[in-house]
């Protein structure tokens, strides 16, 4: 069912697990600022923060043990930019940060676990936010310098790279809704600019890898895109059909189209933004959705594989033709609304309905739309809220059913190369703080040693892996097959 060399992984992100927020000369990131800002209640659940979290900065070896207990072949982690480069630039390198990640990467490799490393998972150095953050066009070259630094330092051992995790979430939650750091609320304008600069940054980093590192390091680089699977609420309604198409264009298509399809934004997105600007009399000279310049490094083809974060599905209906009641905003541009099917089970957080089949559908869509790329499912998971159940049978089912859908997708001809559960550990779930638990391991945040305890779903996942991964000596001596 699963091809040899299939990656069985789990994922984490630096700010969500590391703690050590100001240890050993680390610079502050926008999430430190966002969580610490006083007098603005209600940003993060119970005013919690990631100052200590799982304390993986000090307790990494405990995480390594978790990785081994699961029998993972791969571990997806992110680097804290501000831990490596406290002011965001390569002008000041923090050797203690470099040493930390070298320890982590060396330990993984020594245990025969391949690291997949994300350069950016939501935690911009505050010093760069002070220079305009992702709204600034300068971010493309700043990110490129950081990426080159990381390829140089770690690329001899890291063969799978993600430049940016979920540019959609950074743009939309960080700069449209303001529910994530940096907490900017400039609806209908900032998110498009941020998304644009993230794409420009990604393209530069990929080109740098391609021209300066690929020949000696032989790795692969992509960006991780989150998307729901969507279907029209009423499959007989032309309005709902085009609403579902727009919905996908504004989420997955926003970033996938430029990189995998045409080098530009999806036509359904471009026309919707421009039509709504005209309707609302928005006076900008340029479209709120920027255009790509000829002088920039090309975007098309700047990913060596497709990295997909899939959590849930939506039924989509039209909101009725650009009424514009929301003023200038992404919501009014999109003019479509995603709803849950009442038959889908929920799992604690309002946005996450359990729809394993949606992953197979989305993988099929990616195969057809983007010319059958190699795909890694870089995140997929299911959360717990409220009373902790170590014996989490519902999540066992979820993982089992979802992984079976991945197997079906492979049968369908989708070139799925790996699957990463979100997450290895319970951790700081952004605006939901510690109230939402996604771990395969429970973490007791009330104790200093942050003890990790495997959930039943961890045991279930370990069993699935043991059944499918090749024996310890099977692939010895062969170069790892990435794509």
Q: Are 193 and 208 in contact (CB under 8 A)?
A: no
Residue with tokens 């994300």: 118
Closest residue to bound ligand GBH by CB: 351
Nearest to 253 by CA among 133, 167, 316, 338: 167
Between 81 and 213, name the residue whose CB sits nearer to ligand GBH: 81
Interface contacts to ligand GBH, rule CB under 6 A: 13, 165-166, 169, 226, 309, 311, 351, 379, 422, 429, 438
What is the C-alpha to C-alpha distance for residues 266 and 288, in angstroms, rounded to an integer? 15
Give CB contacts under 8 A, 24+ apart, made by 294-299. 296/200, 296/203, 297/200, 297/203, 297/204, 297/207, 298/203, 298/263, 299/199, 299/200, 299/202, 299/203, 299/258, 299/259, 299/263
DSSP β-bridge partners for residue 262: none
Min dist CB 437 to ligand GBH, Å, is: 10
Between 240 and 379, name the residue whose CB sits nearer to ligand GBH: 379
Largest CA distance in the chain: 66
Nearest to 243 by CA among 260, 255, 262, 230: 230
Min dist CB 353 to ligand GBH, Å, is: 12
Min dist CB 79 to ligand GBH, Å, is: 14
What is the C-alpha to C-alpha distance for residues 27 and 452, in angstroms, rounded to an integer? 28
Q: Are 200 and 290 in contact (CB under 8 A)?
A: no
Min dist CB 263 to ligand GBH, Å, is: 25
Measuring CA to CA, how many Å separate 259 from each of 186, 249, 264, 278? Answer: 26, 13, 8, 28
What is the C-alpha to C-alpha distance for residues 137 and 134, in angstroms, rounded to an integer? 7
Between 83 and 314, name the residue whose CB sits nearer to ligand GBH: 314
Min dist CB 452 to ligand GBH, Å, is: 17
Residue with tokens 């940003």: 43
Min dist CB 429 to ligand GBH, Å, is: 5
Catalytic residue list contains 480: no
Antiparallel, parallel or unpaired: β 160-165 and 7-11: unpaired
Query: Per the residue annotation, which of 166, 176, 405, 429 is the catalytic one?
Result: 166
Catalytic residue list contains 231: no
Query: Per the residue annotation, which of 18, 176, 379, 460 is the catalytic one?
Result: 379
Min dist CB 450 to ligand GBH, Å, is: 18
Between 165 and 217, name the residue whose CB sits nearer to ligand GBH: 165
Between 155 and 405, name the residue whose CB sits nearer to ligand GBH: 405
**DSSP H/E element including 285:** none
Between 149 and 426, name the residue whose CB sits nearer to ligand GBH: 426
Residues 6+ apart with CB under 8 A from 141: 204
DSSP β-bridge partners for residue 238: none
Between 2 and 134, name the residue whose CB sits nearer to ligand GBH: 134
Q: Which residues are catalytic?
A: 166, 379
């Amino acid at each position: 069912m699963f091809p040899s060399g299939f990656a069985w992984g789990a994922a984490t992100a630096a700010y969500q697990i590391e703690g050590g927020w100001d240890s050993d000369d680390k610079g502050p990131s926008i999430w430190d600022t966002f969580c610490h800002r006083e007098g603005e209640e209600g940003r993060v659940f119970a005013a919690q923060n990631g100052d200590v979290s799982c304390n993986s900065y000090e307790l990494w070896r405990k995480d390594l043990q978790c990785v081994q207990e699961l029998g993972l072949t791969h571990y997806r982690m992110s680097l804290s930019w501000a831990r490596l480069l406290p002011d965001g630039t390569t002008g000041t390198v923090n050797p203690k940060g470099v040493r930390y990640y070298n320890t982590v990467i060396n330990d993984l490799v020594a245990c025969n676990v391949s690291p997949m490393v994300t350069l950016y998972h939501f935690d911009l150095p505050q010093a760069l936010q002070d220079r305009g953050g992702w709204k600034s066009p300068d971010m493309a070259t700043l990110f490129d310098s950081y990426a080159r630094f990381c390829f140089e330092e770690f690329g001899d051992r890291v063969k799978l790279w993600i430049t940016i995790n979920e540019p959609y979430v950074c743009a939309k939650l960080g700069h449209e809704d303001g529910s994530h750091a940096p907490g900017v609320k400039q609806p209908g304008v900032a998110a498009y600019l941020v998304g644009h600069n993230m794409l420009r940054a990604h393209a530069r980093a990929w080109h740098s890898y391609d021209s300066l590192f690929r020949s000696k390091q032989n790795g692969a680089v992509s960006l991780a895109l989150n998307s729901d699977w969507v279907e029209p609420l009423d499959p007989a309604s032309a309005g709902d059909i085009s609403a579902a198409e727009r919905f996908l264009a504004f989420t997955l298509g926003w970033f996938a189209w430029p990189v995998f399809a045409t080098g530009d934004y999806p036509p359904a997105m471009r026309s919707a933004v421009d039509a709504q600007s005209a309707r609302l009399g928005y006076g900008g000279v340029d479209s709120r959705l920027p255009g790509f310049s000829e002088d920039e490094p090309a975007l098309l083809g700047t990913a060596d594989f497709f990295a997909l974060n899939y959590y849930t599905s939506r039924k989509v209906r039209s909101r009725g033709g650009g009424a514009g009641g929301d003023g200038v905003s992404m919501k009014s541009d999109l003019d479509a609304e995603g709803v849950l099917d009442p038959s889908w089970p929920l799992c604690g957080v309002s946005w996450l309905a359990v729809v394993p089949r949606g992953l197979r559908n989305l993988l099929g869509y990616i195969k057809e739309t983007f010319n059958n790329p190699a795909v890694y499912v870089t995140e997929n998971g299911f959360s717990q809220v409220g009373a902790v159940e170590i014996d989490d049978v519902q999540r066992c089912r979820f993982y089992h059913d979802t992984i079976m859908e991945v197997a079906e997708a492979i049968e369908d001809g989708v070139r799925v190369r790996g699957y990463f559960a979100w997450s290895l550990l319970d951790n700081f779930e952004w605006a939901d703080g510690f109230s939402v638990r996604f771990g395969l391991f429970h973490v007791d945040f009330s104790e200093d040693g942050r003890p990790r305890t495997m959930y039943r779903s961890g045991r279930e996942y370990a069993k699935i892996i043991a059944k499918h991964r090749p024996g310890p000596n099977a692939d010895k001596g062969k170069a790892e097959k990435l794509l």
